[in-house]
A = this chain, B = another copy of it.
Amino acid sequence: MLILLKNGTDHIFVHLGMISIVLLGSGNLAHHLCQAFSKSAKVKVVQVYGRNKRALKKFEKFADTTLVLTLLKPASIYILAVNDDAIKPLSMALMEKQGLVVHTAGGIHMDVLQHEHRGVFYPLQTFTADKEVDFSAVPISIEAHKKEDKMLLQDLASSISSEVYDVPSSKRMKLHVAAVFVNNFVNHLYAIGEGICQQEKIPFEILQPLIRETADKIRSLSPEKAQTGPARRNDADTMKQHLSYLENSTHKQIYQLLSESIIKNYEEKL
């Protein structure tokens, strides 16, 4: 909210409800968050902390930057956008801060932070350098130890995204495993497909429309119901033939295990 106060002949603009942020970290997530916050009228990134001078460079157009932890500015929220391992030690350096301290890691419990005012701000997306992300469609999972802090996080999250979910640590950590399946493991299956194409000297592009349609299909059809293929039909001849084509023994094992899992899944539901 913008309020105009008359003070003699001067006009003073005061932003009420503006959320001030200090970002800690200079990687992909920190950079994408900084970009998204800078577009929001409700949020002000007052400072970005990082250990890598070169990585900090690209934050300079958005906010003050610092390499020195003891020079952190006061803020409503301190957001730790760092590697999982760095969360605890870095948070210890913030013990004297008055603001809310949150981390951004899907797989880490909120209580790793020892602050009275602690929370989690987990954007469920994969971020790549130099590839802009439409944050308005990124689901953000929030959590806080104190009720008023959760409201603050709700405000912060909804200033950049229309999909905000209230998810406690125990659920979020399992959600993170699900994210590993649908992102990291799926990407590895793409890499196996790419490898087969390379070996056969077929351009990988030939598989890309199929990849996109497979991802697109489940927006309207549950993956459970969308399942097709030799394993779904329990077509033993085709599976045997496919296995004979695979030269890499690990890929053979993956083919076998995933096929068995599909067969079992639909047997159980007969």
**Chain A interface (Cβ < 8 Å from any Cβ of B):** 84, 107, 124-126, 128, 131, 133, 137-139, 141, 163, 165, 167, 171, 173-197, 199-202, 204-224, 226-232, 235, 238, 241-242, 245-246, 250-251, 253-255, 257-258, 260-262, 264-265
- A245 and B165 contact, Cβ closer than 8 Å, known pairs A182-B210, A210-B126: no
Contact A228 B178 (CB under 8 A): no
Across-interface contacts of A253 in B (CB, < 8 A): 257
Across-interface contacts of A241 in B (CB, < 8 A): 107, 173
- A207 and B178 contact, Cβ closer than 8 Å, known pairs A188-B258, A250-B260: yes
Give chain B nearest CB distance to A22 CB in angstroms: 26
Give chain B nearest CB distance to A198 CB in angstroms: 9
A259 to B170, CA, bound (A): 23
Contact A190 B184 (CB under 8 A): no
Chain B minimum-CB-distance residue to A183: B214
Add 7 more A-B contacts to A188-B223, A188-B227 (CB < 8 A): A128-B226, A139-B206, A178-B196, A181-B192, A190-B223, A214-B215, A254-B258
- A189 and B191 contact, Cβ closer than 8 Å, known pairs A184-B227, A211-B182: no
| Partner pick for A184 among B128, B207, B217, B229, CB 8 A cutoff | B229
A125 to B206, CA, bound (A): 10
Across-interface contacts of A262 in B (CB, < 8 A): 184, 188
Across-interface contacts of A231 in B (CB, < 8 A): 184, 188
- A182 and B177 contact, Cβ closer than 8 Å, known pairs A202-B165, A254-B257: no
Contact A209 B124 (CB under 8 A): yes
Give chain B nearest CB distance to A127 CB in angstroms: 9
A220 to B208, CA, bound (A): 11
Across-interface contacts of A210 in B (CB, < 8 A): 124-126, 179, 182-183
Give chain B nearest CB distance to A190 CB in angstroms: 4
User: What are 12 A-B contacts with C-beta separation under 8 Å?
Assistant: A126-B213, A126-B214, A128-B217, A163-B205, A174-B196, A180-B242, A181-B254, A182-B210, A182-B211, A184-B227, A184-B230, A250-B264
Chain B minimum-CB-distance residue to A130: B220
| Partner pick for A173 among B84, B179, B194, B245, CB 8 A cutoff | B245
| Partner pick for A131 among B107, B163, B184, B217, CB 8 A cutoff | B217
Across-interface contacts of A167 in B (CB, < 8 A): 202
